[in-house]
A and B are shown apart, each in its own frame.
Chain A
């Protein structure tokens, strides 16, 4: 074995030393962003009050800026509005039908009624139709859709008007429904209101899907796809009342394209998508939100620095969320930030 011959030490010429060791001169001031022309304000009338709002804003933004409490279920600031729940509809003079406030942009001279009798009727029915077909028991205890019970009361919505709920479908039955064919209600069954009730889908360790609670707001599909994660593991399948959120061929999540970012859970307004830990604690009767504390922190895993809210009960992390208004995350996380907390519960640590 011969000794390694060490090459002669490299000496940097002085002109290069200067380049590599002298920091560049600081800019005398922070560069200014190129000027953006502010959109011209638009004058509209909301509930008889003339207001000036930025062009390009939606009716919902304009109304909320006035302090009006317009209900929304399928709307989320961080997602493209799909305007399917129809509880945000408002009356615009000259329009044959009501218009969705969440997606309709203001136009000069628009005369908008946010609480007319017509509006209240449609909102009441939309809430009743949802309430009679979907389990809303966990819907909206938190903002931004926290007002569900309040809105039901405000509009006098009584979901029981359509009859007692039909019994749950057997597991997988709703996934097998084919478009254009349904069993028409007849006889005594007609007195029951059809529902989307079905067993909870538990097919992985991280989260469960309880589609009995699904109002088809499309938020999870958007968060999984174009608006956040770009994974496209889930989409709407089927048609009409048989429409459902599904993986391809209703395949279990571990076989699907799911990457377990949990962003669908983050945007679900009704508790249909839920941490498995929360689901099991609820089933065991040990879930106690009053006893939980929330600790804001930064995800320890990578350099992005996502904001985390740790939900802690009995000194154990039971759920992780990210604030919707975080400029880093918009409420979205990845599998590590969302689910990678188990080690903290390891007592041998």
Chain B
């Protein structure tokens, strides 16, 4: 390949932002200073540069955070450093919603208008912002700020939510919930005012940019985890109890016992315990974790990788966020165990870009673990080397699909791969890879941290039901008195779970409940006594998915909700395969036709067409996104009288 880069040269600011990620440029070949004594004779780049392509996403983040968008000179510089064709890099930059390629003000408020926030008045916030700042995306206040609509930000328990991003020398990303328009504008103004040194002091006083947290601040989770601190919790035992920034505190509360047990038992016995526990993945696919680990461990190809999927983006899901924010060392320890069991030396933790607090906590935990010898060349004195690298997503639901996640880490567009081959054989960088989501991994600590770890699998399997073992986290949102993350053993009924959350406010009647998120299924009040297990929900044609339980009472706007779900899938489809790329568009149009009285045939015929589109997406799409893109919408129409269309 002949790298062909045209256009203006990167400014010192752009170069500095990129160099902060990639290190200084070595020579004129990679965009650095030309040294005529060496550059004329020694070619650089080639494989050495291309092997660093996985740094493309971090480099793009650096530009976005510093400049507020991906500029052409900045992108060109990245391309020269990594030997990536500019057309491909542009394709990557335009794939992610949090990257802007067109000019955009430095301060942006991303307003969640997704299904849970809609129920909490997100449209009113958007309307207020429209009045205060003008239409979404338009520069306001002398081009210093703007606002944009965003898919689910994973703060549904405190809806409505917003993510503020301010580009600059000290870039800021901050999640806010609950929000109103005045508060958002005030925050943006304060952040921008904070650019001057004098104002930065006031900034800190506003607890906006870098105000130090007190331990009590960092442990305040009651609003997200109403059960926090109650006895009997397993997955949430440390949440709100442990200081998430303190390794010592984590160890004092049983942390790193599971890793010590695993190392003492050896990899095979570790996998055996996980297999005996009959732990299955909590990300939605419910694949047996022990079988996955054993498959990776048995692969002759080297190296092996482990990946933690923290790209929790299913609308209505926020359990992984709470775990990462409140108990980050648990995630790091569990990944280390996974690496030990599968024979890996490197793990990647891929977290969605909308979770700055969780990201900061995890970075802190990884650094503390490394400093204490729980990561690095000699993990806990075992002689085995393991490192964890954190990677930040950039606004793409599809990157929660495991193979799209690999593509994203590798510096490519997040387009899912065809399976087979499965990740246990051909995964990240083409090597055997064990990929698990955050909640699944934290379960591993329960299994191996029990006593000396031996028999922990059997004792874990005694929790829950025969077909679904262990405790489970559910994300309750919408019309419930105390929304939040709840831990219950598998087998708890939907009614018991809702009672835990205080039921519906004002004792209004439940209209419907969305199980499993936008890719899930609406069930009626008649399903309240269903046991929340994989087999129980399957029996009624529903799914647990990612543990979303979103309640809609009789006042809820179901039509608006369905249209938002359709818009979500149309936005989040990667665009690779025809059924999903066009099918999600036709699905959204069809709902709009019905809702706005523009139907071109009878309602029955329109619904038949909707079913036809859904069936083709389900059968012929490449990945789970397309296969489930019609699931919730079709299920809503199956409930008689639910959708007034």
Contacts and interface: CB of A to CB of B under 8 A. Distances in A.
A50 B553 CA distance: 56
A233 B576 CA distance: 19
Given A163-B589, A163-B600, A182-B567, A133 B620 contact: no
A125 B1 contact: no
Given A187-B596, A237-B90, A232 B396 contact: no
Interface residues of B, number: 70
Nearest to A89: B620
Interface stretch (A61-69, A247-255, A301-309): A247-255
Interface string A235-258: 111111111001111010001110
Interface string A72-105: 0000000000011111010000000110100110
A187 B47 CA distance: 53
B589 A125 contact: no
Contacts of B585: 133, 194, 241
Contact of A184 (B396, B575, B592, B600): B592
A130 B619 contact: no
Contact of A132 (B576, B582, B584, B612): B582
Contact of B598 (A187, A234, A240, A251): A187
Contacts of A137: none
A234 B613 contact: no
Interface string B305-330: 00000000000000000000000000
A73 to B, nearest CB: 9
Nearest to A232: B85
B622 A182 contact: no
A159 B6 CA distance: 42
Interface in A158-178: 161-163, 176, 178
B622 A248 contact: no
Contact of A241 (B102, B575, B612): B575
Given A179-B96, A239-B575, A241-B570, A255 B6 contact: yes
A257 B87 CA distance: 9
A122 B613 CA distance: 9
B589 A248 contact: no
A312 interface: no
B222 interface: no
B574 interface: yes
Given A129-B579, A257-B2, A162 B94 contact: no
B582 A247 contact: no
B418 A100 contact: yes
B100 interface: yes
A335 B356 CA distance: 50
B137 A181 contact: yes
B572 A240 contact: yes
Interface in A120-168: 121-122, 124-126, 129-130, 132-133, 161-163
A326 interface: no
Given A248-B86, A248-B89, A240 B579 contact: no
Given A83-B622, A185-B592, A248-B90, A235 B578 contact: no
Contacts of A201: none
Nearest to A250: B90
Contacts of A225: 85, 88
A238 B95 contact: yes
Interface residues of A, number: 66
B583 A190 contact: no
A184 B563 contact: yes
Contacts of B621: 86, 97
A185 B616 contact: no
B586 A126 contact: no
B588 interface: yes
A181 B108 CA distance: 15
A245 B570 CA distance: 19
A89 B619 contact: yes
Interface centre among A86, A98, A121, A188 (most CB of B within 10 A): A86
Given A232-B1, A255-B6, A129 B600 contact: no
B581 A241 contact: yes
Interface of A: 83-87, 89, 97-98, 100, 103-104, 118, 121-122, 124-126, 129-130, 132-133, 161-163, 176, 178-182, 184-194, 215-216, 225, 230-243, 246-249, 251, 255-257
What are the 3 tightest A-B residue pairs by CB atom distance, in nearest-first order?
A180-B97, A243-B575, A232-B85
26 contacts: A85-B578, A86-B578, A86-B621, A86-B622, A98-B619, A121-B615, A121-B616, A129-B578, A129-B583, A176-B102, A178-B100, A178-B101, A184-B563, A184-B592, A185-B589, A186-B592, A189-B592, A194-B589, A235-B85, A237-B87, A237-B95, A239-B94, A239-B97, A240-B570, A243-B575, A251-B6
Given A180-B150, A181-B571, A190-B592, 7 more contacts: A104-B418, A126-B616, A185-B589, A194-B585, A235-B87, A236-B91, A238-B95
Interface of B: 1-2, 4, 6-7, 72, 75, 85-91, 94-97, 99-102, 137, 148-151, 395-396, 413, 418, 420, 563, 567, 570-579, 581-586, 588-589, 592-593, 595-596, 598-600, 609, 612-613, 615-616, 618-622, 627
